[in-house]
Each structure stands twice: as structure tokens, then as C-alpha cells.
Amino acid sequence: MIKKIVNNYNELATYFVWGVSWVSVFGSLYFSEIKGFVPCDLCWWQRLLIYPLAIISTVAIIRKDYKNFMYYVLPFGVLGFIVSLYHSLLQWGVIEKNILDCTATGVSCSKPEIEIFGFITIPFLSFLAFTALTIVSGISIYIQHKKVN
């Protein structure tokens, strides 16, 4: 069973990335288009990093390119992880001053639109998604290198 999972990990990981990225795309569009939340500058950067993954993962599944796909996911995942972690820390008050001006959209990057259980914000949901994508793609690349050696 475990050997079968390891042997098919790249394919399973590709479907996982596909699911997480499309849920993130539709989730962000739900918050902005249906709930009326205007995305701040940091939210736009996170969208910029997750939206391409939805398209790239769809192409990877159609082409059955499970082997090389994670090399494209990892940079997006790491950058998204950094931006969403910074954004979450900013909203929780751990970081007091934003390095961005946050005036392009007129929305404060440090003010959470929603807060569930006192700490789950939209950027934190993004952080969880990017963390999962980074871990899954890192494991996939590691397994590939182990198979080669």
C-alpha cells in the first residue's frame, strides 16, 4: 500500500495541487465578487501566485506530466508561503509596519475582513494553502531524486 502511494505520489500530488489551487481561485473570487471584499495589495500578490497554478496543474493533468510538474509548483509555493505568512503576521499585529504602501487599492493590508476563532483570516487560509503546496511539491521532488539515485 505504502509502496503504491510512493510510486504514484507525483500523480496524486498533481491532483492535490489542482484541487487546492482551484479551491483557492474560486474562494478568492467568492470573497471579492460575491461578498464584496476589495483585495488589498498583498492579497493581489497571493492571487498572482496561486492563479497560474490552477491553469498549470490542469495542463499537467491533461498531458499526464506528473514527473516535472512539481518543479513549477515549488517556486510559486515558496513565494506564496512568504507573502501569506508576512500578511498573516501583519494582520495579527506581530509585524507592526507594512513594507508596502497598500494604497493602490485603498484597502489596508493589516485590517482583516473576516476573523474566525480570532485568528483565521483570509491571508491565513492562503498561508495554509501555500504551505501545503510547498510541502507536497518538496516531497515529490525529493521522491523523484531518491528514485534516480
pLDDT single digits (tens) 111-125: 667 667 777 788 889
* Whole-number Å distance between alpha carbons of 92 and 80: 18
Region of 111 (left: φ > 0; alpha: ψ -120 to 50; beta: rest) is beta
Residue bearing the bigger pLDDT, 98 or 134: 134
Share of the chain above pLDDT 70, in %: 81
Its domain, for residue 131, covers: 2-148
pLDDT of 66 reads 84
Query: In this model, does residue 53 exceed pLDDT 90?
Result: yes
Q: What is the dihedral sign for C-alpha 8, 59, 34, 116? A: positive
* Whole-number Å distance between alpha carbons of 8 and 5: 5
pLDDT of 4 reads 67
* Whole-number Å distance between alpha carbons of 131 and 28: 17
pLDDT of 38 reads 84
Decide if 48 contacts 7 (C-beta within 8 A).
no
Query: In this model, does residue 149 exceed pLDDT 70?
Result: no
Query: In this model, does residue 136 exceed pLDDT 80?
Result: yes
pLDDT for 7-38, tens place per residue?
A: 688 889 999 999 999 999 999 999 889 988 88
Query: In this model, does residue 65 exceed pLDDT 80?
Result: yes
Burial class (CB in 10 A: 0-12, 13-18, 19+), 49: buried
* Whole-number Å distance between alpha carbons of 73 and 133: 7
- In the chain, how many domains are there? 1
